[in-house]
Structure 1
Amino acid sequence: MTQTTTINDPRNPLEVYAADGTDKLLATGVPQDAAAHFREIGAWTGDTHWQLFRRAVETWPHDTAAVDNVRTLTWSELDAGVARAASVLAQAGVGRGDGVIVQMPNSVAYLEAVFAIWRLGAVPVFSLPAHGSHEIRHFAGHAPARVYVGTARPNRHLTRVQHDLAVPLEDGTELTTVLVDEGAADPWAEAGQDAPEPADVTADELAFLQLSGGTTGVPKQIPKTHDDYLYSVRASIDVCDLSRGDVLLIALPASHNFTMSSPGILGAVQVGAAIVFASDPMPTTILPLIERHRVTHLALVPPALISVLNSTERKSHDLGSVKTVWVGGAKLSEAAARRVYPDLGWRLQQVFGMAEGLVNYTPLDAPIDEVVSTQGRPMSPWDEIKVVDDDDVEVPEGEPGNLLTRGPYTIRRYHRAPEVDARSFTADGFYRTGDIVVFSEGTLTVVGRAKDQINRGGEKIAPEAVENALLTHPGVHDVSVVGTPDEVLGEKIRAFVIPRPDADASRLTPTKLRKFARGAGLASYAIPDIIEIVDEFPLTGVGKVSKKAQQT
């Protein structure tokens, strides 16, 4: 194995080279022979994110490009805003290869900032609005990044983050802070001289650092090149129905991988669809926007979709413009999936993927049983899938096992994390996703996360199986199941249940819910030991249920 190290390089300070200065590896850890293969088969085309944006501007200059609650811009107007943003960032010292932390709310200004960073040849270091100063300072030191772009709007949480960033990092570096009022008519009013000419960047360079969806400690940083990431965007478009004239609602945090590329913001740029930003995915926020802007597509995580399904307000809005809802980030229960078309009239396309790489979609023409009960098929013909036991021996088709994957948009290492790499990747470059799946006839069904499995007295229980059973109860809005330590059994099963607003509380006692679970076919050892009725679940920054918080 070639030993690698990070060196200062005028082409790109964040790029990783072999220690002897030869046999360059890409920032993602992909070796040159594999990179050459991906180019040869046409997966990698040599496009950069800046070139993608410029094509949209030149092809559809007068089409609507981006909308928020203050501004509506055409592609030409967005291009002018990007140039002004680039001027502001250049004045702050951003140059080619510099890491720039982006922590902004969903807005047109967010889009301007990110494409301005790419125009300057710099590297966005993505974060979420929910991240605190501990995470942001870690991202800055680890990347490294020397400039922080955030909101100037009053926000107690982010104001505290920005205050803490005034303290130099551990190595003595001071972060330059650029605060942007995304709610202003001109967020880049401080723009002075003309923006520098677009930097000369190649597609094999580091495009940005994305965040892992894992919940253990500080999120890991995922390196992505222009080549591999834009291939994933094009592959998503090939299996989705997004096209020019469509209207895409961005309700999840814009910097999240799901929101960015599946097919997401970059997919809209690729095909010329309009992008509408919502501040959050709550029904009270997104339902009026769907009606007002005639939204055709949106992406939601399961808790957000379930909130829409159970919202008392949805019948007050015309939602008939929506063609497709993509649901991912966590497994959607079959019970909820079966309600989408009858209740909303929306076509459901399940998405199962990860920021590290592999993405699966249920096909648009798939039978309904496949759509509601599986998490789809690999979107690329060059995705490699293995399902193995704990000794890395492949299991028979149709048997559950640990998912390993490799392909043209899947990384082969994290950013500057060799200890994590050692347990996350096989010697031949397969990524250990941490998911337990069944792979049969080309279709993936997620059984659960390996780390979430509950070991109750020697019996292995997938939380999803318990959740799916309880979700069929007519009075249940949502369910989350975790393991909780027990001296006798090792772990007990704890279920958190959110009732529907109109539910009869007398039917939702722990005793009656256990009886219902038995009647739904759960094994006796899988019946929850502890059932708690709650008003809400703790959520991660992207809106997924935080089982880690529920276990504490």
Structure 2
Amino acid sequence: MFPPSAPVPQAAPDQPPAPGWPEEDADRYRAAGHWRGETLGRVLRDRAVAHPDRVALVDGPRRWSYARLDAAVDRMAAGLSALGLVPGDRVVVRLPNAAEFFELLLALLRLGALPVLAQPADRDAELRNLCASAEAVALVVGDQGDGHDVRTLASRVRRRVPSLSHVLVAGEPGAHTPLDAVPTDPVRPSHGPRPSDPALLRPSGSSTGAPRLVARTHDDLLHQLRTAGEVSGVDASAVFLCALPAGSTLALSAPGALGTLCAGGRVVVCPHPAPDTAFPLIARERVTHTTLVPPLAGSWIAAATTTLHDLSSLRLLQVGGAPLAERTARRVAPALGCALQQLYTTAEGLVSATRLDDPVETVVTTQGRPLSPDVEARVVDGDEAEVPPGEPGQLLLRGPATVRGYWRAPEEGRFAFTPDGFHRTGDLVRRTERGDLVVVGRVRRQINRGGQQFAPEEVENHLLAHPAVYDARIVGVPDPSLGARVGAQLVARPGATPPSRDVVRAFLRDRGLAEYKIPERVECLPALPHADPPPTPRALTGTAPAGRP
């Protein structure tokens, strides 16, 4: 998919360490052509040289050619350098879907500083934990979001995280530095990162709320972008609608916006994924590819029956973040007139996908196969012995795009990775006779609300801080559109008045918790029921360490 790139400038050897692959595996991946010794900044520059006038990025009425985007990225990288950022510095990015996200991301990749990708829904608690875990030197936010002033949120985070030297704001900056004042004319050639250096850091959740960070290198991320592009038909003719949050794996790199840019295609920024925003953009820009989570896929299907917008350019709808109900999957092609591809991804580097030439039954009932033929996948019981096809078990993975540990967290890695380098995903899957994966649950409790996942223990720990709460349990309440809504079961302290739903929700918001984690149903009980057994087969009740909580 990607033409070969020019030689890459070498960086100084003082980059922060990323969990590495054994040299024999790295040599094998290079020999197989999975790792090609390229960097993302170099690949994107080569597209600008080859096709300077081709449209790369569209955001409302604003349009960037590849040449204009390349120059803007150079100027942003120079400005960040002038602020004092150096290769290896961490920058937490919490921006809405806008061109500024891509300009900043690409500038950080070119400079060799590490973007740490937050989500637009993250509030004080999540951002504080993320900035502290990464020891970030800068936080970049939009000025407003979901009806609240993000600048005030950023000020609170900065006061609590000593490493933060800069807060940059896209929009009205308030007391902070405006992002659009950062770019400056480059004054010297940029010596970018090496292909084996970290490109970005992606959070992977934990039960405490403090994220584990996954360092994706230029080599392994480019391999993922290439293979994902190949199985989804993304090439220079592709027009990708970035409808999900731009920093998510689905929207950015499966192959997403970043893969589309690397292939020489066009990225159209969609500020909101609802049909009334997305459909006009599909018609105007002749969008060919996009990615959604299951609840949004359902709303698009319903809206397509009455829309007056021309959706005929759409070739492929990718759906991931949670398993897609078969009845919904079967309605994609008739309603939207395009093919369906189911995705299954992890922060640690897995992308599994159905193929464009798969039988219909495979596409509507499975999450496909890992992209690379060199991905080693095992489905195991609680003793980590392989189970036969059709039996559920935990998925273990090892391959050229799956990391071998967490960034600067060797203790975390000991539990999430086997001694021989397989990632314990924590996901329960069945593998069909032909090798396709069907995701059936988690080894440990997790709430998946419309594709946004979190560990219940995190919210339970916040609830236990309430003076009237003696005990607390967070549960998933089945929901036909979101998969699950969030419920709380509480036991009040003796003599205390049980807190109401509104009191609980206000308390958690005051503690800075993201909205998707806040219970929509609150039930006060005399005692908590016994915890439901996890949806695991009997063979998974052993003591082998699990993956992500």
- Per-residue CA shift, 1:226-278, capped at 9, x if unaligned? 11111111111121111112210001111111211111112111211100011
- Per-residue CA shift, 1:447-488, capped at 9, x if unaligned? 2222259xxxxxxxxx99xx9xxxxxxxxx99x9x99x9xxx
What is the match of residue 181 of structure 1?
A: 171
User: After superposition, where does 1:270-419 map in structure 2 within 5 Å?
Assistant: 270-311=262-303, 314-419=306-411
Q: Which has the higher contact order (CA 8 A, sep 6+)?
A: 2
User: Does residue 435 of structure 2 align to residue 442 of structure 1?
Assistant: yes
CA contact (8 A) 1:387 1:394 kept: yes
CA contact (8 A) 2:144 2:150 kept: no
What is the match of residue 74 of structure 2?
A: 83
CA contact (8 A) 1:28 1:223 kept: yes
CA contact (8 A) 1:259 1:299 kept: yes
1:376 Cα deviation from its structure 2 partner: 0.6
Distance 2:476 2:76 in 1: 51
CA contact (8 A) 1:324 1:349 kept: yes
Distance 2:100 2:356 in 1: 33
Change (3 A) 1:69 1:412: same
Match of 1:117 among 108, 113, 132: 108
CA contact (8 A) 1:360 1:375 kept: yes
Match of 2:62 among 68, 71, 78: 71
Q: Describe the SS at the equivalent of 2:91.
A: strand
- Per-residue CA shift, 1:362-413, capped at 9, x if unaligned? 1101111111011111211001011111111111122111111110110111
- Per-residue CA shift, 1:132-191, capped at 9, x if unaligned? 23322322222222122222457624223222134152xx434212223399xx963553
RMSD: 3.4
Amino acid at match of 1:38: Y
Q: Describe the SS at the equivalent of 2:73.
A: helix
Q: Describe the SS at the equivalent of 1:285.
A: helix
What is the match of residue 504 of structure 1?
A: none
Q: Percent of pairs identical after alignment?
A: 37
Distance 2:96 2:405 in 1: 29
Distance 2:474 2:204 in 1: 27
The normalised TM-score by structure 1 is 0.76
What is the match of residue 244 of structure 1?
A: 236
Gaps spanning 5+ residues in structure 1: where? Answer: 1-9, 17-26, 454-462, 468-476, 500-542
What is the match of residue 15 of structure 1?
A: 16
Distance 1:129 1:415 in 2: 23
CA contact (8 A) 1:114 1:124 kept: yes
Q: Describe the SS at the equivalent of 1:315.
A: coil
What is the match of residue 89 of structure 2?
A: 98
Change (3 A) 1:352 1:173: closer
Distance 1:35 1:142 in 2: 28
CA contact (8 A) 1:96 1:199 kept: no
Distance 2:292 2:475 in 1: 31
Amino acid at match of 2:438: T
Amino acid at match of 1:443: D
Change (3 A) 1:266 1:53: same
Amino acid at match of 2:154: Q
Distance 1:110 1:40 in 2: 34
Distance 1:94 1:492 in 2: 43
Distance 2:156 2:378 in 1: 44
Distance 1:269 1:340 in 2: 26
CA contact (8 A) 2:133 2:210 kept: no
Distance 2:356 2:348 in 1: 24
What is the match of residue 197 of structure 2?
A: 205
Distance 1:544 1:137 in 2: 16
Change (3 A) 1:73 1:56: same
CA contact (8 A) 1:213 1:355 kept: no
Q: Describe the SS at the equivalent of 2:200.
A: strand
Distance 1:205 1:304 in 2: 36
Distance 1:246 1:148 in 2: 32
CA contact (8 A) 1:213 1:354 kept: no
Change (3 A) 1:70 1:152: farther
Amino acid at match of 2:269: F
Q: Describe the SS at the equivalent of 1:317.
A: coil
What is the match of residue 479 of structure 2?
A: 496
Distance 2:515 2:359 in 1: 27
User: Does residue 142 of structure 2 align to residue 148 of structure 1?
Assistant: no
CA contact (8 A) 2:110 2:192 kept: no
CA contact (8 A) 2:89 2:113 kept: yes
Match of 1:61 among 35, 52, 62: 52
1:214 Cα deviation from its structure 2 partner: 6.5
Match of 1:429 among 421, 427, 434: 421
CA contact (8 A) 2:128 2:160 kept: no
Q: Describe the SS at the equivalent of 2:233.
A: coil
Change (3 A) 1:77 1:261: same
Q: Describe the SS at the equivalent of 1:201.
A: coil
Distance 1:303 1:157 in 2: 27
Q: Describe the SS at the equivalent of 2:384.
A: coil
What is the match of residue 252 of structure 2?
A: 260
Distance 2:520 2:14 in 1: 37
1:118 Cα deviation from its structure 2 partner: 1.9
CA contact (8 A) 1:403 1:437 kept: yes
Q: Describe the SS at the equivalent of 2:183.
A: coil
Amino acid at match of 2:237: G
Change (3 A) 1:399 1:117: same
CA contact (8 A) 1:206 1:226 kept: yes
Amino acid at match of 1:244: A
Amino acid at match of 2:479: F
Amino acid at match of 1:496: D
CA contact (8 A) 1:329 1:544 kept: no
Distance 2:289 2:274 in 1: 16
Distance 2:263 2:172 in 1: 25
Change (3 A) 1:85 1:157: same
Amino acid at match of 1:37: R
Amino acid at match of 2:166: T
Gaps spanning 5+ residues in structure 2: where? Answer: 1-10, 461-472, 483-513, 524-549
- Per-residue CA shift, 1:22-42, capped at 9, x if unaligned? xxxxx1332222212211221
What is the match of residue 211 of structure 2?
A: 219
Change (3 A) 1:352 1:546: farther
CA contact (8 A) 1:303 1:545 kept: no
Q: Describe the SS at the equivalent of 1:311.
A: helix
